Amino acid sequence: MNKPNQLNFDTRAIHAGQEPDPRTGAVVTPIIHASTFVQDGIGKNRGYVYSRSDNPTRLTVEACLADLESAETAFAFPTGLSAAATILECAEAGAHIVAHADLYGGIHRLLHDVRPRSAGHHVTFVDFADTDAVARATTGQTALLWYETPSNPMLKIVDIAAISQIARTAGAITVCDNTFSSPYLQRPLELGADIVMHSATKFLSGHSDLMAGVAAVSASAPEGLAERLKGLQNAVGAVLSPQDSSLLLRSVKTLPVRMDRHCSNARKITEHLLEKQAAYGITSVRYPGLPDHPGHAVAARQMRDFGSMISLYVEGGLDRLDRILQRSHLFQFAVSLGGVESLIQHPASLTHKTVPKEKRDAEGVTDDLIRLSVGIEDAGDLIADLEQAFG
């Protein structure tokens, strides 16, 4: 079945990498909990030795995700951050990295606090929405370029093809965090990125009941990169459990239908927020689907749709924000995103708390910013919830 790009995405989301179980005919991939596998002789086995290196259930979800991301191969991790940390192990000690200034707080912490101390990495943060700034920051000594698009929480759009070209010229590897889009909306490897990573905790798992991470490597990435990452995953031991691999495999089957509903709900919510902007005391709405969003044209070119993340600046100070966050019910006040349920959160005090305040403020992650993750509930009910929370 695993024939990349021969079937449409929606079909591959359900079948890629999966065959009926040869022993029982089960149509769903069995969960193989075994940590170890019997050896038939020295150097002879049935494909498996030890589950940290290879586990049948994990390999199945990895094959499915590789197919969906148009990758040569993919690896499943226990969290998005462990995927990111293992990818960073690919960069030699002392390497120069150019990273997007607008990143999820936990990735920023890895790049700003952890890796410079543990591996001597030198990280230059620039605005990746400004392609020329990335070109200026990237030199022949740069090992890696790291960005998200749309980014968290400012929803900046990065021109994936242009950044891939800059990296290729400099001989650097590009890593695109595709968490906010999922492969249904955007496939960075088709636009020249070398590695795609995900917090699969978000849209890929989609139900806020699973933590997972993914790294998918392009067939056009520098030779040996996929093998290196596989070796590093085994060496550091960051593997998704068989149970969670099965849950992720199940979730991905509904990714296309969930994403379509996420996107159409987000469009309706954005229209409502703009209509009521003055009444709700909203200073501005950031959503890549809006024609006046600075990255709209690039997003329209490289994404199938604009996702379901919306960021808002709200008037009235922290007390008013706190009231809104507490009064919204369907939009539950919680971090994370990409689940079927809608969430509302305050980046400055939660997801981006570890980014120094001056840096947060400089990037626009000010105290008056709220981020919505629009779920797949009825759009009318969600709008009614916002009416009572902001009204």
Ligand X SMILES: Cc1ncc(COP(=O)(O)O)c(C=O)c1O
Cβ closer to ligand X: 242 or 347? 347
Cβ closer to ligand X: 170 or 312? 312
Q: Which stretch binds ligand X (CB under 6 A): 74-82, 161-169, 252-260, 300-308?
A: 74-82
Binding mask 131-170 for ligand X (x = CB under 6 A): -----------------x---x------------------
Site for ligand X in 80-99 (CB under 6 A): 80-81
Q: Residue 215 CB, nearest distance to ligand X (Å)?
A: 11
Distance CA 257, CA 10 (A): 8
User: What six digits make up the tokens of 35?
Assistant: 């940590």
Distance CA 49, CA 52 (A): 9
**Residue of the chain from 179, 233, 265, 302 that contacts ligand X (CB under 6 A):** 179
Q: Please, how many CA atoms are within 13 Å of residue 157, restricted to the half-sphere of its CB? A: 26
Q: Residue 387 CB, nearest distance to ligand X (Å)?
A: 28
Q: Looking at beta carbons, which residue is closest to ligand X?
A: 80
Q: Are 163 and 182 in contact (CB under 8 A)?
A: no
Is residue 203 a contact residue for ligand X (CB under 6 A)? Answer: no
First to last CA, the chain: 52
Is residue 213 a contact residue for ligand X (CB under 6 A)? Answer: yes
Q: Residue 332 CB, nearest distance to ligand X (Å)?
A: 16
Q: Residue 16 CB, nearest distance to ligand X (Å)?
A: 22
Give SS3 for 12. Answer: helix
**Residue of the chain from 76, 91, 95, 107 that contacts ligand X (CB under 6 A):** 107
Distance CA 391, CA 383 (A): 11
Q: Residue 224 CB, nearest distance to ligand X (Å)?
A: 25
Is residue 241 a contact residue for ligand X (CB under 6 A)? Answer: no
Distance CA 189, CA 134 (A): 19
Radius of gyration of the chain (CA): 21
Q: Are 91 and 97 in contact (CB under 8 A)?
A: yes
Cβ closer to ligand X: 67 or 148? 148
Q: Which active-site residues does the annotation give?
A: 52, 104, 177, 202
Q: Residue 351 CB, nearest distance to ligand X (Å)?
A: 6
Q: Please, how many CA atoms are within 13 Å of residue 207, restricted to the half-sphere of its CB? A: 12
Q: Which stretch binds ligand X (CB under 6 A): 78-86, 94-102, 252-260, 293-301?
A: 78-86
For helices 255-275 and 242-253, what crossing angle results, to 10°? 60
CA 114 to chain centre: 20
- Residue 197: φ, ψ to 5°: -120, 160
Q: Which residues bind ligand X (CB under 6 A)?
A: 79-81, 104, 106-107, 148, 152, 177, 179, 199, 201, 211, 213
